[in-house]
Structures are given as C-alpha cells and as structure tokens.
Amino acid sequence: MKTSLMVAGSVLAATILVAGGCGPRGGPGEERAVERVPVRVVEIVTGPVTATVTATGTINARDDVPISAEAGGRVIEVVARVGDRVSEGDVLVQLDGELAELSLRQAEAQVLLAEAELADAEVGLERAQSLWESGDIAAAELEGSERRAKSARASFAAASAGLGSAQRQLRNTEIKSPIDGSVAFVYAEEGQFIAVGTPVAHVVNDDVVEIDLGLSEDQVPDIRPRRTATVRVRALAGELFDGKVEYVGRRADDMTKTYPVRVVLRNSAHRLRAGMVAEVTIAAKEFSDVVVIERDWVVERYGEPGVYVASDSLAVLKRLVLGKVVGDRVIVTSGLAPGDLMVTFGHDRLTEGSLLDIKGAPGDTADQHASGSDER
C-alpha cells in the first residue's frame, strides 16, 4: 500500500546539461587546481500535480449469489454447467417432483372439499337467518349456523394455504437462478439426494465488479466518492482499467484500523474475473503550480532538510520546507524557486561552496526522473 504522484501539464524539472570540466592542471612546478565534484542538475519549474493513493485488493463480482435448495429431493438433472451464462429464472438443477406433484393434488382436493363445505355452511346460515327473522327458530340455532359457517371459512382458508404451500414445493423442485449472470460453481450431481438448505450452485453477475480496499488514516482524508481510479490487473499482463470510488467508510475497522473504500468498474467484456488481484490507484488531491522533487535528492544538513543548487559552478545549500510526501516524491512548499539548478547526482559529496563539474549532454531531460505516476 503506498501513495504516489501523477504529474500533469508542464514538466516539474528539466535537466540542465551544462558542459563542464575539471579545472586545468598547471605545468611542471605549478600547484594542482582544486578538484571539482562531478554532478548532474535539473532546472526547477512548477506545474500541476495530482497526488494519488495506491492499494491492492481483490476483484469481486457486483452480484455474487450462492443458491441453496428450498426443497429436498433427488437430483434428476443438472441443467447448468460452470461457465454458462444464465438469465433470471433459468433452471439450474431439477429435482424429482413426483412427491411434490402428489402433495399438490392432495392439496387441490382438500380445497375442493373445503369449498363445498363452506358453500353448504353459507347456505345453511342464510336459511337460519331467514327463519330467525320470521320467528321460526330460536337464537341458539342461528348461532349454531354462524359457528358452522365460521368453521367452514377457516377450513377453506387452511386448505387454500396448504395448496399454496404444495404449489411452492413443486416450484422449488426447479432450482432457478435469481439473477442474470454466469455460473461460477455447481455442487449438485445427478442422482444425489439433497436436503433443504443444501448449496447447489453459485451464480455471479460480473457486468460490474468491485474492489474493496482498506486505507490508513493518513491516506483516506483526500479520498472522495466518484474520484477516478486506475486499476492494474496482474493476471492480465498489467492491463489498466478505469473505475470510480463508490464509497469511503466513516469508521475504521477495529482489527485492521483501516477505513473501507470501495472502487467499482464496468466489466462489459467480462475480462475481469472475481478473485483476480488488482492494484488500484486513486486520484486523491490536485495541486497547481507546485515544485515536486524526488525524496532522494534531499539532504539533511544541521538537522534540517535541504538541497544543493548550482550557482556559478559553486554548490549552494538551500534549506527547504517540505509539504505532502507522496510515494518517492515530496512537495516543496518553500526553499526552491523556478529556475534554480538543483543537484540531483553527487549531492551526497557536497558541502557549501564545493566546486562543481556539471555533467550531461543536451536532451537529457528531468521528466525521465520526475514525471508520471509512481506505481512501483
């Protein structure tokens, strides 16, 4: 997990390749000239910079659904195979439905019987109400008819519920995909007897994939939803894909002390597969007109950071105020100005006032050192 830079626009530093040489040697009897230190320098310029955060995660399908049996029975056919593309409602595994069909017929018969009993009870209740109104029966007889009608209604409701359950059981003998996607696993085999709750298949929809990351407290403050992300997939020879940040967690995980961040990306070609390892680089914060240098170019003198610049072939120490550290580079907030010729090689041998032998040839530019994303 690391933080890096993407440099856009103008080059941060262009190498100055000034021809130089050692001081001349005197003739016989003359003192030898002071030795010059061979160095390389770059000219400091400013430009826009995007700080990035890089982390590694595992690709997961957006919809990843394990499917279990909702009815028990013997597997008579495994319809779907691993790798098949399926639609919502397609049958994956077929169970023996003979017992379920018999249960359904019995439930249908129970409904017919309960329906007939209810009809008789309703007719009897109507007759009893008419007779009670004319005074031909006592109130107790009317109450008896009302109870019989109520009991018949309850029996009919119970039979109807039983019918619905039997219908559901029969439907459950066809184990179907709940989503559009691809079959990732099939666990059932023909002839196998499975119980309710037994896993039989796994279907994933990877039209959209997601990568869950854990970022530290110093990385997460500049990450926002909808920030762009670049995804590098090792299994695909380092190919790059575009994604976006979906969410940034508001609370750190108790175990890892990292904040959850999810990146999503479209996978219409289905080249990305669940389980692949990916390196994700997120655009975190943009800076404009700043100086950025390699951290290796910084020296520590008198307990403070600084760099050496070339002035009339002499080394001059510039004390720096450093800002955000991003990977192998650091933003300089104070101490360097555009046009300064900063020493990038040989600086570890310098002291204030050292004579410089500036090496190089025209065309050796500093964007070879400081531009592009640090995604190592």
C-beta separation of 176 from 94 below 8 A: no
C-alpha closest to that of 217 among 249, 263, 244? 249
C-beta separation of 182 from 86 below 8 A: yes
Compute φ and ψ for 3, nearest 5 degrees.
-115, 145
pLDDT of 15 > 50? The answer is: no
Whose tokens are 């403070």? That residue is: 304
For residue 273, give the H/E element and its range. none
Contacts of 34 (CB under 8 A, 6+ apart): 23, 355
C-beta separation of 235 from 276 below 8 A: yes
pLDDT recorded at residue 211:
97
Q: Residue 291's beta-bridge partner residues?
A: 332
pLDDT of 38 > 90? The answer is: yes
Cβ atoms within 10 Å, residue 241: 20
Q: What average pLDDT is seen over the chain?
A: 86
Contacts of 28 (CB under 8 A, 6+ apart): none
The strand pair at 321-326 and 329-334 is best described as antiparallel
Radius of gyration of the chain (CA): 39
pLDDT recorded at residue 48:
85
Question: How many alpha carbons lie under 13 Å from residue 45 in its C-beta half-sphere?
Answer: 19
Distance CA 84, CA 71 (A): 24
C-beta separation of 246 from 208 below 8 A: no
pLDDT recorded at residue 360:
61
Segment 335-341 mean pLDDT: 92
pLDDT recorded at residue 47:
85
| pLDDT tens sequence across 204-250 | 999 999 999 999 998 899 899 999 999 999 999 999 999 999 999 99
C-beta separation of 69 from 193 below 8 A: no
- In which band, very low, low, confident or very high, does the pLDDT at 84 lie, cut at 50, 70 and 90? very high
Segment 319-341 mean pLDDT: 88
Q: Is 70 helix (H, G, I), strand (E, B) or coil?
A: coil
Dihedral sign from CA coordinates of 163, 167, 172, 173: positive
Distance CA 228, CA 210 (A): 14
| pLDDT tens sequence across 44-62 | 998 888 888 999 999 999 9
Q: In 50-80, which positions are buried (b, 16+ CB within 10 angstroms) versus exposed (e)?
A: bbbbbbebebbbbebeebebebbbebeebbb
pTM of the model: 0.64
C-beta separation of 261 from 214 below 8 A: yes
What domains does the chain contain, in order, with CATH numbers? Answer: 2-53+287-370 (2.40.420.20), 54-64+205-210+227-282 (2.40.30.170), 97-172 (1.10.287)
pLDDT recorded at residue 22:
41
Please provide the size of the chain in residues: 376
- In which band, very low, low, confident or very high, does the pLDDT at 135 lie, cut at 50, 70 and 90? confident
pLDDT recorded at residue 17:
38
